[in-house]
């Protein structure tokens, strides 16, 4: 199965779905990750402008995502609404190149303007071709319908935490969600909800039931 992770900013997909990314890779799916801003303006003053890009690449390497499967777009943080059309064009180009079976996007109920624009444009781009689920970022979500669970092992969550440790700049900013206690507690809570040791939950935006197996594209022009 070809799976595309869509992140508005460098750490979003990993915070919301890092354990699931580990499981997808462990189960030999092909994982792609596209990030739409490296947030130069949000860095601590002591950091170089490319700090988050380097940290993002370090995290992808920790997950084992191939370099050729990583896509970095350089939009200005908090300005996605102004470049909405360009973002859709980037997504359409990704769709043509990858033909993903499953897309992981931010939630439609995410009130950060960049996340919200990307969630809507993901639906416009992928709605006829791929299943779409959104990942949870509790500090940004007004509501979240847990309609899909991915059961995970302790090793998946350990790997998620190890990948998140690449983001030294975010630890410097004391982001409360860059905490081992939070990452493990949330995954444990989701695990209890679905009868697993650990888990991550998602909101189903669109689910396409495959008729010829997930390994093959159903798109006529693929
Ligand atoms: Zn973000």
List, in sequence order, the alpha helices (H) in 40-198. Answer: 51-63, 84-98, 113-126, 154-164, 168-172, 180-194
Ligand 1 center to 198 CA (angstroms)? 24
DSSP code of residue 130? S
Ligand 1 center to 111 CA (angstroms)? 10
DSSP code of residue 160? H
Ligand 1 center to 68 CA (angstroms)? 23
CA distance 203 to 47: 35
- 6 near 143, Cβ under 8 Å? no
Strands in 70-72's sheet, in edge-to-edge order, are: 70-72, 30-35, 2-7, 102-105, 131-135, 198-206, 148-152
| Torsion of the alpha carbons at 135, 117, 53 and 89, rounded to the nearest 10 | 110
To the nearest 10 degrees (0 to 180), the angle between helices 113-126 and 84-98 is 40
Ligand 1 center to 33 CA (angstroms)? 14
Cβ neighbours around 132 below 10 Å, total: 25
- 170 near 163, Cβ under 8 Å? no
Ligand 1 center to 9 CA (angstroms)? 4
Whether the pLDDT of residue 173 is over 90: the answer is no
Band (pLDDT 50/70/90 cuts) for residue 220 is: very low
Ligand 1 center to 126 CA (angstroms)? 21
Ligand 1 center to 128 CA (angstroms)? 26
Average pLDDT value over all residues in the chain: 93
Q: What percent of the chain has pLDDT over 90?
A: 83
Q: Which residues contact 93 (CB under 8 A, 6 or more apart)?
A: none
Ligand 1 center to 120 CA (angstroms)? 15
Ligand 1 center to 140 CA (angstroms)? 9
Whether the pLDDT of residue 188 is over 50: the answer is yes
CA distances for 1 relative to 58, 97, 212, angstroms:
24, 15, 12
State pLDDT tens for residues 148-161: 999 999 999 999 99
State pLDDT tens for residues 26-45: 999 999 999 999 887 777 77
| 69: nearest Cα among 9, 18, 17, 29 | 29
CA distance 87 to 118: 8
Q: What is 11-68 written as a DSSP string?
A: THHHHHHHHHHHHHHHTT-EEEEEES---GGGS-TTS-TTHHHHHHHHHHHHHT--GG
State pLDDT tens for residues 65-100: 999 999 999 999 999 999 999 999 999 999 999 999
Domains defined along the chain, listed by start: 2-206 (3.40.50.10320)
- Global pTM reads 0.92
Ligand 1 center to 217 CA (angstroms)? 30
| 201: nearest Cα among 138, 114, 109 | 138
Ligand 1 center to 210 CA (angstroms)? 31
CA distance 153 to 134: 21
């Amino acid at each position: 199965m070809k799976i595309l992770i869509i992140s508005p900013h460098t750490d979003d997909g990993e915070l919301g779905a890092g354990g699931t990314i580990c499981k997808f890779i462990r189960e030999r799916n092909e994982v792609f990750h596209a990030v739409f801003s490296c947030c130069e303006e949000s860095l601590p003053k002591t950091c170089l402008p490319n700090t988050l890009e380097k940290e993002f690449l370090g995290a992808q390497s920790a997950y084992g995502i191939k370099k050729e499967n990583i896509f970095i777009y350089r939009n200005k943080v908090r300005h996605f609404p102004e470049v909405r059309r360009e973002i859709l064009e980037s997504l359409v180009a990704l769709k043509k190149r990858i033909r993903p079976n499953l897309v992981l996007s931010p939630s439609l109920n995410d009130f950060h303007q960049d996340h919200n624009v990307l969630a809507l444009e993901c639906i416009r781009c992928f709605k006829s071709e791929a299943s779409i689920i959104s990942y949870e970022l509790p500090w940004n979500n007004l509501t979240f319908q847990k309609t899909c669970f991915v059961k995970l092992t302790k090793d998946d969550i350990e790997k998620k935490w190890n990948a998140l440790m690449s983001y030294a700049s975010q630890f410097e900013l004391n982001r409360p969600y860059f905490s081992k206690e939070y990452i493990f507690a949330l995954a444990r809570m989701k695990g209890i909800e679905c009868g697993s040791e650990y888990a991550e939950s998602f909101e189903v935006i669109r689910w396409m039931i495959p008729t010829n197996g997930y390994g093959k594209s159903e798109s006529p022009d693929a």
